[in-house]
Structure 1
Amino acid sequence: MAISRNDLVAALASKAGTSKADADAVLSSFSEILLDSVAKGEKVSIPGILSVERVARAARTGRNPSTGETIDIPAGFGVKVSVGSRLKAAAK
């Protein structure tokens, strides 16, 4: 079962003892900071929980699964999310 944004905002507000509007503003700000940091190539880390960073992908040769034709895939970027020890422990 997935937690929706509304559920997350409600849980944040309850846990922090604040209004849902304030919790939503904090979540929106966190999202913007995360997106901006990854776009700049900066690593974002929440110790014990997770880290998120932009990684470079080298150019490579692939194959079209429909036709079997060889295609060139240009270099680009991806996002790497690493799980922290506390989050791993919570999943056990």
Structure 2
Amino acid sequence: MNKTELVASMAEKSGLTKKDTEKALKAFEESVMDELKSGGKIQLVGFGTFEVTNRKARVGRNPKTNEEIHIPESNVPKFKAGKALKDMVNLSK
């Protein structure tokens, strides 16, 4: 599912117009990015948690030349699924 399909699905389920739904989705994305940028986390009970974790500096290897390279430390966004989401996904098996 791409963003256009997601907007269409959300609009159908909410009864909003596609234009209003797209604005709401954009606002959600911006809110999540702003909170993660400031180092916070967002918990949506039952759905999951968005947070930032620190990945320490490490030594990697270039697969083409087999040469060691230094990979600097970085902050990475992380999503951890909530119990309700995990249960819903496992019911479809």
Range class of TM-score, shorter chain = 0.7 to 0.9
Alignment partners' CA distance in 2, 1:14 and 1:53: 29
- Aligned match of 1:61: 59
Coordinate RMSD, CA, aligned: 1.3
Matched residues in 2 for 1:52 and 1:10: separation?
24
TM-score computed with the length of structure 2 as normaliser: 0.86
Gaps of 5+ in 1: none
Residue 44 of structure 1 corresponds to 42
* 3-state SS, counterpart of residue 34 of structure 2: helix
Question: Equivalent residues in 2 for 1:72-91 (5 A)?
Answer: 72-91=70-89
Q: Tell me the residue number matched to 2:30.
A: 32
User: Cα distance, 1:23 vs. partner?
Assistant: 0.9
Q: Which runs of 5+ in 2 are unaligned?
A: none
The alignment's TM-score, normalised by the length of structure 1, stands at 0.86
Partner secondary structure for residue 56 of structure 1 = strand
- Corresponding residue to 1:23 among 21, 24, 31: 21
